[in-house]
Homo-oligomer: A and B are copies of this chain.
Amino acid sequence: MTALQSWVPVPADSDFPVQNLPYGVFTPARAHSPRVGVAIGEHVLDLSAIWAGTPLGADLATGSLNRFLRRGPVEWAYVRERVTALLTTEDERALVEANLHRIDEVRLHLPVEVADYVDFYASEEHATNLGEMFRPGGEALLPNWKHLPVGYHGRSGTVVVSGTEIRRPGGQRKGPQDPAPVFGASVKLDIEAEVGFVVGAGSAMGEPVAVDDFARHVFGAVLLNDWSARDIQAWEYVPLGPFLGKSFATSISAWVVPLAALEAARVATPVQQPEPLPYLVEKEPWGLDLAIEVRLNDAVVSRPPFAGMYWSPAQMMAHTTVNGASLRTGDLYGSGTCSGPAADQRGSLIELTWNGRDPLTLPDGSTRTFLEDGDSVTLRASAPGADGVRIGFGEVTGTVRG
């Protein structure tokens, strides 16, 4: 089989072969207004220029993907097909070349104006690890966990694009031995390696969305780092769940990989036993074989396998709407921390260091339990793509400021 190739040069190790075509929002050097683009190799193609003078072009000449996403799956497919043709045939090479910008010369923005943000908890290994740490002596996995994808709403106003500096949050904490809570900067600042899903086409209030309608509503996926202050979280989270321990910042990658690029990555979820209720049973699997990599100050500290997530993103969507809650363009939901069964597959520092008991040693000889000021965390991910190529997600990175 010959892989489809673009005439735009794509380095062999690129995250962005023509089989990927992830969407982002960027401002070119020497321009003032953001617009929608698609990444190809080391370049971004300005889609607003390709469709200039049309209603679609107007929807692409904006600071978020939302207006494009609202157009729905038929139009998503049309644009992807057209961009693929532009990049693989040379029929309009001059037009394309005039609107290619080097990615390293543009400014990338938050790709989506986030409507509601929900975070799930879909890794059995992660939920078990946290249960053991937060409720020692109790049942690690709570009784509801295998019946529904546990989730909660987070703060959409503090979702930021990769590269945004993360200020260490202040707040209340109280250890079991402290007589009263104390106030101060978090001393247990952590990460959570997740994949986020972006809703493109909304749904009507009162009408649950069927699990098999996933790709008619969800447009694509991003990398997501759900920064977490474990000390703040541990003190506040009963009985209504995490609040300030999470709401200070959530970082996502600048590129939204469309589901259409992830067809070859689809896998069955692990066996779900007991069998879920019918509204959660998918006919076609939407587990995804993504290999995630977590770097702390350039050292790989974990390689969580997304294929092992117990609940699929389609099941998360179906669950979110089963009570009649509507979806809106721009809704974002995170998978929850992705952790595998092995010690070096855990997607958070609290698991990697077992709540600080087993510090990590970095290549420079320093050790970490939780994040220190100046630390940078970067998530990357790869998936099998069409034609045997590798689909990459770019990265989501952030540096902690004290």
Measured between beta carbons, the chain B residues less than 8 angstroms from A169 are 323-324
**Contacts A157-B328, A180-B274, A205-B158; is A240 near B323 (CB within 8 Å)?**
no
A184-208 near B? 1/0 per residue, CB < 8 Å:
0000000000000000000001101
The residue on B at minimum CB distance from A181 is B147
Docked complex: A270-328 residues within 8 A CB-CB of B: 274, 277-279, 319-320, 322-328
Question: A144–B322 Cα gap in the complex (Å)?
Answer: 32
5 closest A-B pairs by CB: A241-B241, A169-B323, A153-B153, A152-B240, A167-B206
Q: Is A247 an interface residue (CB 8 A)?
A: yes
Q: Is A267 an interface residue (CB 8 A)?
A: no
Q: Is A148 an interface residue (CB 8 A)?
A: yes
Q: Is A1 an interface residue (CB 8 A)?
A: no
Measured between beta carbons, the chain B residues less than 8 angstroms from A131 are 239
CB distance A238 to B183 under 8 Å?
no
Q: How many residues of A contact B (CB 8 A)?
A: 65
Partner among B150, B180, B326 whose Cβ is within 8 Å of the Cβ of A158:
B326
**Oligomer copy total:** 2
CB distance A181 to B240 under 8 Å?
no
A399 to chain B, nearest CB (A): 13
CB distance B151 to A172 under 8 Å?
no
Question: A131–B239 Cα gap in the complex (Å)?
Answer: 9
CB distance B237 to A239 under 8 Å?
yes
The residue on B at minimum CB distance from A167 is B206
Measured between beta carbons, the chain B residues less than 8 angstroms from A111 are none
**Contacts A154-B153, A158-B325, A248-B324; is A144 near B331 (CB within 8 Å)?**
no
Q: Is A69 an interface residue (CB 8 A)?
A: no
Partner among B147, B153, B160 whose Cβ is within 8 Å of the Cβ of A172:
B147
Partner among B115, B158, B236, B241 whose Cβ is within 8 Å of the Cβ of A156:
B115
Measured between beta carbons, the chain B residues less than 8 angstroms from A238 are 142, 144
Partner among B144, B172, B327 whose Cβ is within 8 Å of the Cβ of A235:
B144
CB distance A181 to B116 under 8 Å?
no
**Contacts A115-B157, A151-B243, A154-B153; is A172 near B277 (CB within 8 Å)?**
yes
A288 to chain B, nearest CB (A): 22
Measured between beta carbons, the chain B residues less than 8 angstroms from A167 are 205-206, 324
**Contacts A157-B325, A158-B325, A326-B157; is A134 near B239 (CB within 8 Å)?**
yes
Other A-B pairs beyond A144-B172, A151-B240, A158-B326, 16, CB < 8 Å:
A116-B155, A116-B156, A118-B243, A144-B181, A147-B174, A148-B236, A152-B152, A152-B240, A152-B242, A153-B155, A157-B326, A160-B205, A167-B205, A183-B279, A244-B322, A244-B325
